[in-house]
Amino acid sequence: MKDVELKEMDPEKQLMTRETQKNGCVKVTVPENAGVKYTGLSKDELIRIAGTAGWIRTRRALLVLFWLGWIGMLAGAIILIVQAPRCKPIPEMNWWNEGSLYQISDVKAFSDEGLKGVEKQLDYMSQMKMKGLVLGPIHTVQANQLDTLNLVSVNPEVGTEKDLESLLDQAHKKGVSIVLNLTPNYENGSVWFNNVTAVAEKIRDACTHWLKKGFGGIFLPDLGDIIKTEPWPSIQAIFNETDETKKVALMGSVTRLSPDDVSLVLNRSGVDLLLTGLPDPSESGEKQAEGIKNLYSSHRQMNLGWSLSGPSVGSLASRSPAWPVRLYQMLLFTLPGTPVFSAGDEVGLKTEEKPQIMWDLENPEEKNVAAKTQQEERIAVLKFFKTLSELRGRERSLLHGEYVSLHSARSSLAFRRLWDQSDRFITAMNWGNEPVTMKLASSDMPTQAQVRLTTDTEKLAVDSMVSIEKLQLGPKQAVLLSYPYAG
């Protein structure tokens, strides 16, 4: 080193003497402020050392350890993958399986502005997570006069074709599919004019016409009659041949049929969604449980629709026997299939009440104490409805999970929905006038579950834990429980 002066010879080579040692070190004269730099081994020195036997053995040992560690991690990953439970594949779903449907049968009653008024409420439907709107009928016809039936025209009393096009355009932008109700004789008498074959031919032409306009599907009532006609296979073919990226739906309904008869119609018709009118609230819990189980076990739940309101039976709040509206809502939202609600069911509107009440709830101005109390109750019912709709949309067990009956009695019912490794849900309801105790626990269920939603928060608080070995429900009470997948 140039900055270091050595006396006589390098310090490393100088013999240690009394004169040269001081505190065990060689005396070295270091210039003031000189920096000592460590240069390390040179390349030749490294190569020379790396070739020694000791370093060769060390490198080999480290290499062996590296590969053993790598192989061990790979084997561990393979074991984890092999032993991990397989995720069940998600079933094929269409837009009408992903949420509930909203039904506006009488457009004039729904809004004085007709189709324009419906368009203004699309945001309201989106807030409730509605996936589709069953609209109409809106075509022209005179009661019981087949020669006046024109299924491809718009009744001037509800609007114009331009209004309809605007409605379809806005609905598509908001993700709401519109299904057109083509009930032929909706004014009075038999819906098929006692000449089903003649009407079926007009239905076939109307389906082709309206699907080209952008409708998401067609709805036909009382399918038991039309599916026996000669034109029916050609009507089905229209929906099978569409090349739309978003599938269009052929929907229908049946009324006052037993579960076996409903199953027969569903098999023969081949429709994408059938509204059954079941379960029947006038039947006992045992009958309802049996009917639901039979339909679910015989058909894909993707084809089952549940509707307990409509033009022929009125709103949920007007049904007989009278159940609290929230019990109806919880039942329809948690059954395996698609729930369909009529306008006003979300707030407990009665058949004779005007839909304007629904829009007034957003800005309550009632001064009368009784009217204000009623408004608050309807707001609570709407909140309950929205919570159920959101739960069904995001929870796989409610969306497409298996249905398992847990309890049925004269005026009470309980069932479970479960899907693969997702949270399990239990619906329990008592529509009777006396309290009931349900024993729901089984070997594959825990002893407690969490309250997710209840019609009576005073007796069962949301998020609280309750025993399902002896679940107690008061009169007119329903609860939605959940517990985690145990593995």
User: Is residue 30 scored above 60 in pLDDT?
Assistant: no
234-253: buried (b, 16+ CB within 10 Å) or exposed (e) per residue? ebbebbeeeeeeeebbbbbb
The phi and psi torsions of 327 (rounded to 5 degrees) equal -65, -45
Per-residue confidence band for 4, with pLDDT thresholds at 50, 70 and 90? very low
Cα 373 to Cα 279, 290, 367, 385, 440, distances in angstroms: 31, 39, 10, 19, 36
* Average pLDDT over all residues of the chain: 88
- Give me the torsion for CA of 374, 375, 377, 383, rounded to 10°: 160
Q: What is the model's pLDDT at position 88?
A: 79
Average pLDDT over residues 227-239: 93
Residue 392 class from Cβ within 10 Å (0-12 exposed, 13-18 middle, 19+ buried)? buried
Q: What is the model's pLDDT at position 34?
A: 52
Convert the pLDDT of each residue in 408-437 to its tens digit. 999 999 999 999 999 999 999 999 999 999
User: Is residue 450 scored above 90 in pLDDT?
Assistant: yes
The phi and psi torsions of 130 (rounded to 5 degrees) equal -75, 135
392, 425 Cβ separation under 8 angstroms: no
User: Is residue 364 scored above 90 in pLDDT?
Assistant: no
Per-residue confidence band for 381, with pLDDT thresholds at 50, 70 and 90? very high
The runs of H, that is alpha helices, within 229-284 are: 232-240, 259-269
Q: What is the model's pLDDT at position 35?
A: 54
- Taking phi over 0 as left and psi of -120 to 50 as alpha, with beta for the rest, 168 belongs to alpha
User: Is residue 22 scored above 50 in pLDDT?
Assistant: no
User: Is residue 63 scored above 50 in pLDDT?
Assistant: yes
203, 235 Cβ separation under 8 angstroms: yes
Convert the pLDDT of each residue in 148-192 to its tens digit. 999 999 999 999 999 999 999 999 999 999 999 999 999 877 899
Q: In whole angstroms, what separates CA 51 from the centre of its chain? A: 68
Query: Distance between CA atoms of 412 and 222, rounded to whole angstroms?
Result: 30
Query: Distance between CA atoms of 377 and 347, rounded to whole angstroms?
Result: 9
CB atoms within 10 A of CB 334: 26
Closest CA to 164 of 151, 154, 152: 154
Average pLDDT over residues 13-42: 55
Q: What is the model's pLDDT at position 7?
A: 47
Both tokens of 49, joined, read 């050392």
Q: What is the model's pLDDT at position 426?
A: 97
Both tokens of 221, joined, read 């009532």
User: Is residue 244 scored above 90 in pLDDT?
Assistant: no
Per-residue confidence band for 404, with pLDDT thresholds at 50, 70 and 90? very high
- Contacts with 402 (C-beta within 8 Å, 6 or more apart), sequence order: 336, 417, 418, 419
Strand-pair partners of 179: 134, 217
Q: What angle do CA 479, 482, 485 make, to 5 degrees?
A: 165
